[in-house]
Amino acid sequence: AEAAENHDEL
């Protein structure tokens, strides 16, 4: 997984 993913979870 790439770094600093798009944090779409709460």
Site residues for other proteins per CB under 8 A: 1, 3-10
Q: Which amino acid is at 9?
A: E
- Across the chain, the runs of DSSP E, i.e. the strands, are none
Distance CA(3)–CA(8), nearest Å, equals 14
